[in-house]
Amino acid sequence: MKKLWIAVLTLVIVAASCTFWFFTLKNPQEKVGVKVVDQLGREVYVEKAERIVSLWPEATRVLFALGVGDKVVGLDSSSRTCPILTRAFPQIVNITDVGSVGGTFDIEKIAKLRPDIIFMRTDDRELAESIQTKLNVPVICVRFNPPGKRDWSYDIISIIGAAIGKKERAYQLRAYLEGKLSKITKITSAIPDSEKPKVYQAFAYDLLKTQAWSSEIIYGGGINVAYDPQKPIWYSVSLEQVISWNPDIIILHGFGKFKPEDLYNNPDWQSIRAVREGRVYKLTIGWTGWDLAGTVIQTMQCAKVFYPDKFKDLDVEAEANEIFKVVYGVEGLYSRLKRDYGLSI
C-alpha cells in the first residue's frame, strides 16, 4: 500500500511539473510584456531587452544613441564597419558579427547569443516572421524611410525607445533633432522652386549612379534632377543624361572615393555647369541606411552650399560636432570625419 501511494504521489508531481512547464513555455504570439507596433504595423510584445541583436545599421545607431550599446550582443556586418559608429564607439568591432541580411546572415549564430529582442529593416517582413517563429524572440522591423514613405521618419527612434525601455531619452532625442531640422526647413521651404538649384548626387563608388529620392536635397532647398519615384533608391544613368540635366551643383558621397578635383580635371565633365563654376562638393551621405544625427547634418551641409548667403552664419562643423555630441556623447566627431574623408565643409 505504501509503494502504491509513493507511485501515485510521483505521478502527481510529474503531472504538476509538466503542467507548469506547459503554461510557462513562451509562445511567439503570446501577448506578454510591452506591446510595440513596428513600422510594418506588426504588433510585437517585448518582455525584456537585456540582450539585443541588431541586423540593420539604422537600428544599431539608434540603440547606441539611446545608451544601450552595452546590451548589444550581436550585429550585422555593416553596423560594425560604419565610419560614424566605429569612431564614436571603437568597442563595436568586438561585438559578434552575425552576417548581413540577404548575404552572410547566420541564424544559428544569433540563436547562440540568446537575444531577448532583434531589430531588422522593414524590407524583410517574411524573414522577420520566420526568425521570430524559429527563435521564439520578438523581432521589430524599423527604417528611417519605411515602406510607402521615402521621406525620413523619426518614428524609428520612438519605436526602439519604447521597445527597450528608453522612452524618455527617445523623446528628447527626437525633439532635439526635429527642432534642429526645422530651423533649416523654415528657411528653405519658403524659397520658390524657380530659385532653387538643380542638384545631382553621386554614389560612393560610381559617379554615374545617383539617388532617385534625396530628402537632404529637398530639405536643404534644392531640386534633385534625378528624382524618379518609380526607381530604386540608387540607380544608374549615362553621362549624356547628367550633361542633359546640367546640374548647378554636384554632391559627391562623403564616404566615397571621389574628390571634387576628380571632376574638375576630367574633360568629360567640363560642359556641366556645376563643374565649370566650381560647385562640386563632398558631403556626408548615409552609410548603409541613414544616421539619425546625419539626417540633420546632411541637410545643414546642403543648405549651406545651396544658399551661402542665406546661411552665412551657419557654422556647419560646429553645429555638427554639437549634434553628434548630443546624440552619441562624443566630442569632435564631425571634425574627425571631415579630416579623414576630406569633406568640403
Residue that wins the pLDDT comparison between 31 and 4: 31
Q: What is the CA radius of gyration of the chain?
A: 25
pTM: 0.88
CA pair distance 76, 64, nearest whole angstrom: 14
The pLDDT of residue 30 is: 61
Predicted confidence at residue 7, as pLDDT, reads 44
For residue 323, the model assigns a pLDDT of 98
- ∠ CA 32-36-41, rounded to 5°: 120
Contacts of 257 (CB under 8 A, 6+ apart): 204, 205
pLDDT digits over 85-131, tens only? 999 999 999 999 999 877 778 899 999 999 999 999 999 999 999 99
Question: H-helix or E-strand containing 200?
Answer: strand 198-201
Number of neighbours of residue 241 by Cβ within 10 angstroms = 14
SS3 112: helix
pLDDT of 271 higher than 50: yes
Which domains does the chain possess? 34-165 (3.40.50.1980), 192-341 (3.40.50.1980)
Tell me the pLDDT of the chain averaged across its residues: 90
Note the pLDDT of residue 10.
Answer: 44
Instruction: Tell me the DSSP string of 55-91.
Output: -SHHHHHHHHHTT-GGGEEEE-TTGGG-HHHHHH-GG
User: How many Cβ atoms are within 10 Å of 21's Cβ, its own excluded?
Assistant: 9
For the cut 90, the answer to whether the pLDDT of residue 311 exceeds it is: yes
Q: Is the pLDDT score of 6 beyond 90? A: no
Q: Residue 285: pLDDT band by 50, 70, 90 thresholds? A: confident
List pLDDT tens digits, range 158-205. 999 999 999 999 999 999 999 999 999 999 999 999 999 999 999 999
Dihedral of CA atoms 305, 311, 314, 319 in degrees, nearest 10, equals: -60
Q: Which residues contact 23 (CB under 8 A, 6 or more apart)?
A: none
Q: How confident is the model at residue 150 (pLDDT cuts 50, 70, 90)?
A: low
3-state secondary structure of 243: helix
Alpha helices per DSSP H over the chain: 2-24, 57-65, 83-88, 107-112, 125-135, 155-163, 167-188, 215-220, 239-245, 260-264, 273-276, 292-306, 316-328, 333-341
pLDDT digits (tens, 9 = 90+) for 11-70: 434 444 443 333 333 454 567 789 999 999 999 999 999 999 999 999 999 999 999 999
Spatial distance between the Cα atoms of 163 and 338, rounded to a whole number of angstroms: 34
Does the pLDDT value for residue 4 go beyond 50? no
What does the angle CA 241 – CA 243 – CA 245 come to, to the nearest 5 degrees? 70
How crowded is residue 166: how many other Cβ atoms within 10 Å of its Cβ?
21
* Predicted local distance difference test score (pLDDT) of residue 109: 94
